[in-house]
Amino acid sequence: MKNEIIRKEDLNPKDYLMEVKAPMVAKKIQPGQFVVLMTHPKGERIPMSVQKAENGNVTMFIRKLGKTSVELYNYKVGDHFENVIGPMGNAVEVKKYGNVAVCSDLVCGHAENYALCKALSQVEGNHVISMQTFPSKDEVYLEEELRGVSDEYYITIEDGSYGIKGHYRDILKKLIEQGKIDMVFAGGHMDGYIPLAELTKAYNVPAMVTLRPIMVDATGMCGSCRVFIDGEMKLACIDGPMFDAHKVNFKELLNRVKLFKKQEEIAAENYNKTG
Amino acid sequence: MKKMVKLIKNRVPMPELSVEERTKTFDAVPLGYSKEQAMSEAKRCLQCKDSPCTKNCPVNVDVSGFIKELAEGNFREAFLKIKQDNPIPAIAGRVCPQESQCEGACTIGKVGDPINIGKLESFLGDWAMENGVREDFAIKENDKKVAIIGSGPSGISCAVDLRKYGYKVTIFEALHKAGGVLQYGIPEFRLPKKVVDEELKYLKEIGVDIRLNHIVGQNVSFDELKNEYDAIYIGTGAGAPFFVGIEGEELNGVYSANEFLIRTNLMKAYNFPEYDTPLVVGKRVGVIGAGNVAMDSARSARRMGAEVYILYRRTKENSPAREEELRHALEEGIHFVELVAPTKIIGENGWVTGIELVKMKLGEPDKSGRPRPEEIKGSEFIMELDTVVEAIGTTPNRLFLRTVPELKTTSRGIIEVDENLENIEGVYAGGDAISGGATVIQALGEGRKAAKSVHNYLSSR
Confidence (pLDDT) at B5: 60
Model pLDDT for residues B224-266, shown as the tens digit of each residue: 999 999 999 999 999 999 999 999 999 999 999 999 999 999 9
Q: Which of B218, B240, B397 sits opposite A87 (nearest CB)?
A: B218
Neighbours of B220 (CB within 10 A): 19
Confidence (pLDDT) at A127: 98
Share of chain A above pLDDT 90, in %: 91
User: Domain spans of chain B?
Assistant: 19-130, 145-239+396-459, 244-393
Is 3.40.50.10420 the CATH number for A99-256? Answer: no
Q: Which of B213, B241, B275 sits opposite A1 (nearest CB)?
A: B213
CA A55 to chain centre: 22
Calculate how close chain B gets to A254, using CA atoms only, in Å: 10
pTM above 0.80, yes or no: yes
Q: Which of A83, A264, A267 sits opposite B213 (nearest CB)?
A: A83
- Same CATH topology for B19-130 and B145-239+396-459: the answer is no
> Is A238's CB within 8 Å of B398's CB?
yes
Note whether B438 contacts A: Cβ–Cβ < 8 A: no
Average pLDDT over every residue of B74-82:
97
User: Please, where in chain A does CATH 2.40.30.10 lie?
Assistant: 3-88
Average pLDDT over every residue of B381-388:
98
Calculate how close chain B gets to A72, using CA atoms only, in Å: 13
- List the single residue in B with minimal CA-CA distance to A82: B176
DSSP string, A102-156: EEESSHHHHHHHHHHHHHHTTSTT-EEEEEEEESSGGG--SHHHHHHH-SEEEEE
Task: Tell which CATH architecture fits domain B244-393.
Answer: 3-Layer(bba) Sandwich (3.50)
CA B256 to chain centre: 17
Using CA atoms, how far apart are residues A220 and A226, in angstroms rounded to an integer?
10
Average pLDDT over every residue of B424-453:
94
CATH class of the domain whose range is B19-130: mainly alpha
Is pLDDT above 80 for A140? yes
- List the single residue in B with minimal CA-CA distance to A27: B219
CATH class of the domain whose range is B145-239+396-459: alpha beta
The H-assigned helical ranges of B146-220 are: 153-165, 181-184, 193-205
Using CA atoms, how far apart are residues B221 and B225, in angstroms rounded to an integer?
7
Confidence (pLDDT) at B158: 97
- List the single residue in B with minimal CA-CA distance to A252: B250
User: Please, where in chain A does CATH 3.40.50.80 lie?
Assistant: 99-256
Q: Which of A42, A221, A252 sits opposite B240 (nearest CB)?
A: A221
Note whether A264 contacts B: Cβ–Cβ < 8 A: yes
Binning pLDDT at 50, 70 and 90, where does residue A1 land? low
Give residues with Cβ within 8 angstroms of A54, minimum separation 6.
A26
ipTM entry: 0.93
Is 2.40.30.10 the CATH number for A3-88? Answer: yes
Calculate how close chain B gets to A185, using CA atoms only, in Å: 23
- List the single residue in A with minimal CA-CA distance to B402: A238
Partners of residue A238 in chain B, C-beta under 8 Å: 398-399
SS3 B224: helix
Model pLDDT for residues B222-233, shown as the tens digit of each residue: 999 999 999 999
Binning pLDDT at 50, 70 and 90, where does residue A260 land? confident
Greatest alpha-carbon span in chain B: 73
> Is A263's CB within 8 Å of B213's CB?
no
Binning pLDDT at 50, 70 and 90, where does residue A258 land? confident
Mean pLDDT across chain B? 94
Confidence (pLDDT) at B284: 98
Average pLDDT over every residue of A211-215:
95
